């Protein structure tokens, strides 16, 4: 079956602009996670959804970052007033349940110039 998909695969934006990153999880997976991976580092947790609600957003670095999952499937990570330090690979993962392993998408590489 289809895996986790993320669009766009690459996004280049200017400092100060607004961006949206999209994640389509595996069908039927109720749990969805966003991570951020800087070069040479492991992924770092941003936010977790169980269904439609953000059950844990403790990893969001500041209030410029926001994510939604209105229908319990597709999720969008939104970044306002982007800064050069936001440049990273943004990974989405989904899981069939809260105890299962997570399946990752190919990521969106965000570059802020």
Partner 1 sequence: AQKVTQAQTEISVVEKEDVTLDCVYETRDTTYYLFWYKQPPSGELVFLIRRNSFDEQNEISGRYSWNFQKSTSSFNFTITASQVVDSAVYFCALSYTSGTYKYIFGTGTRLKVLA
CB 75 within 8 A of CB 49: yes
- Residue 103 sits in the site that holds partner 1 (CB under 8 A): yes
- Residue 31 sits in the site that holds partner 1 (CB under 8 A): yes
- For the four alpha carbons of 9, 43, 57 and 53, in that order, the dihedral sign comes to positive
- Residue 75 sits in the site that holds partner 1 (CB under 8 A): no
Assigned token pair, 75: 């999720």
b or e along 46-75 (b: 16 or more beta carbons within 10 Å of the residue's beta carbon)?
A: bbbbbeeebeeeeebeeeebebebeeebeb
Question: What is the distance between the alpha carbons of residues 100 and 51, in angstroms, rounded to a whole number?
Answer: 15
Please report how close the Cβ of residue 82 comes to partner 1 at its closest, in angstroms: 21
Q: Which is nearer to partner 1, 20 or 56 (CB)?
A: 56
Give the one residue of 30, 59, 64, 87 binding partner 1; rule: CB under 8 A.
Answer: 59
Give the one residue of 19, 88, 105, 110 binding partner 1; rule: CB under 8 A.
Answer: 105
Q: Give the interface size with partner 1 as a residue count (CB under 8 A).
A: 26
Per CB under 8 A, residues contacting partner 1 are: 31, 33, 35, 40-45, 48, 55-56, 59, 89, 91, 93, 95, 98-99, 101-107
């Amino acid at each position: 079956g289809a895996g986790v998909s993320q669009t766009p695969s690459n996004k280049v934006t200017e400092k100060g602009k607004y961006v949206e990153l999209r994640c389509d999880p595996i069908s039927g997976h109720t749990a969805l996670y966003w991570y951020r991976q800087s070069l040479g580092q492991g992924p770092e947790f941003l936010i977790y959804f169980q269904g439609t609600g953000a059950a844990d957003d403790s990893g969001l670095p500041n209030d410029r970052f926001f994510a939604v999952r209105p229908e319990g499937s597709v999720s969008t990570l939104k970044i306002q007033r982007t800064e050069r330090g936001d440049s990273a690979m943004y990974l989405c993962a989904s899981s069939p349940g809260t105890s299962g392993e997570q399946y990752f998408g190919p990521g969106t590489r965000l570059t802020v110039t």
